[in-house]
Chains A and B, each alone.
Chain A
């Protein structure tokens, strides 16, 4: 009984945490971008104000059933994925649903939100949306291949498909997977540049070119809901990378609420440091064309992915 209360309460806490942290990181990114460009920039709570304003719009135009469903679909996908990510390890509240094979499940679920977006954008009939969707799906074909290779390497090396097991290994052995299999980390890192869709891979939204792409016809509450989904998804990606490669968070021996607090602090530190990589790459990069982006992902990240699998097999003892 107690277990279920912790699960349900933890689910609510996780959702609130993901939303808050995701929105603050988006605001922080705007602030950092401004400081790099020698500007003052908006306050870091700016995205909350944007969201409140968008949700308080008095009229909202929908373009049919899928156009109405797309933002809801994105939110549902984001929340479903979030529930399968262990936020903190060895913590009653933030462990969430851990099951065997959730790494494979996540691979499928993480594209579910983009699918909803594509269907909704398709119904609006805006040509910019159609171009954005085709670009997004092409880019996904690009970055999914090195990402899957990196995950397969981890699965081969540690003989598990559970994120919790990978975290547990890093906790008990004391070795982070970034050192155990550096090639897998490199492949995943480079494909994360595509996942975050910042420059040079912002070909989907493409400011000043596609007029925000798939979101062209979505305004008001629809745009606000999409923003929320995007913020939660950013948090999911960051926590997933920290869980898989940077040892996860919450591995302290402090008991009770202090331990949870320390774990969350550790999580924020690690996710923030990881988040800065795509942000800073984006700040100094122009935009690729679609075929250049796909070529990029199929060159070096894929090579690192193959090396990661070979490395995993070598470490495993099955290669030689």
Chain B
């Protein structure tokens, strides 16, 4: 089982090895906040944050086709306080809709770092979880959480608007508990993330400092 098969599917050992090496640093489970430690101010602010989510729907892959359906009349995400944001500066949620080629990943990282804390990432579709149908592609990344901290995954290929709204509601629960938003964790573990990012992005030309 140790030799690689011809089309590049990783073997079980390789996957195990990968999980040991690349287990994501910033997850919702890693930042469990005891409910008793929340003060009244936190409660109110989290209430405002969870009911006012500005989404930057970064249409990387085919999943972007589900976003208009979610936002418009039939499924109406605005009743949860979810609305589109035009630029990363104004946005709270970065929504990665589908596969990320290494070229797109560079832009996504840059967009993520331009967003203001607290910021959340929703990984959308199978492609962001394990590569999905692009599992053997040479230029797409397979697991998004090695490169960016992800708060909520929405499984499916494609996830229907119901699933997307379920993902938003899950994120709202995490925000109310104080578990969401990994901007600080990303900055603390920046070396680890940068190392992973530089492995796949060949023409690396980012500024040294995290100061956008």
The residues of A with any CB-CB pair to B shorter than 8 Å are 30, 34, 37-42, 46, 49-50, 52-54, 56-61, 128, 207, 211-212, 215-220, 223
Contact = CB atoms under 8 A, between A and B. Distances in A.
Given A40-B79, A41-B76, A52-B45, A219 B117 contact: no
B89 interface: yes
Contact of A61 (B52, B83, B212): B212
Interface of B: 44-45, 47-49, 51-52, 72-73, 76, 78-79, 81, 83-84, 86-92, 114-118, 183, 212
A216 B52 contact: no
Contacts of A211: 86-87
B73 to A, nearest CB: 5
A243 to B, nearest CB: 33
A127 B183 CA distance: 27
A223 B212 CA distance: 17
Contacts of B79: 34, 39-42
A41 B86 CA distance: 19
A196 to B, nearest CB: 19
A41 B116 CA distance: 26
Given A52-B45, A53-B49, A56-B45, A34 B117 contact: no
A60 B116 contact: yes
21 contacts: A34-B76, A37-B72, A39-B73, A39-B79, A40-B76, A42-B79, A46-B51, A52-B52, A59-B117, A59-B183, A60-B116, A61-B212, A128-B87, A211-B86, A212-B90, A215-B90, A218-B89, A219-B87, A219-B88, A219-B116, A223-B89
A216 B89 contact: yes
Nearest to A221: B116
Nearest to A213: B86
B116 A61 contact: yes
Of A53, A60, A212, A218, chain B has the most CB atoms within 10 Å of the CB of A53
Contacts of A61: 89, 114, 116, 212
B78 A53 contact: no
B117 A58 contact: yes
B116 A39 contact: no
B87 to A, nearest CB: 5
Contacts of A41: 76, 78-79
A219 B83 CA distance: 15
B81 A57 contact: no
Nearest to B118: A58
Contact of A56 (B49, B76, B81, B84): B49
B165 to A, nearest CB: 12
B87 A216 contact: yes
Contacts of B44: 52
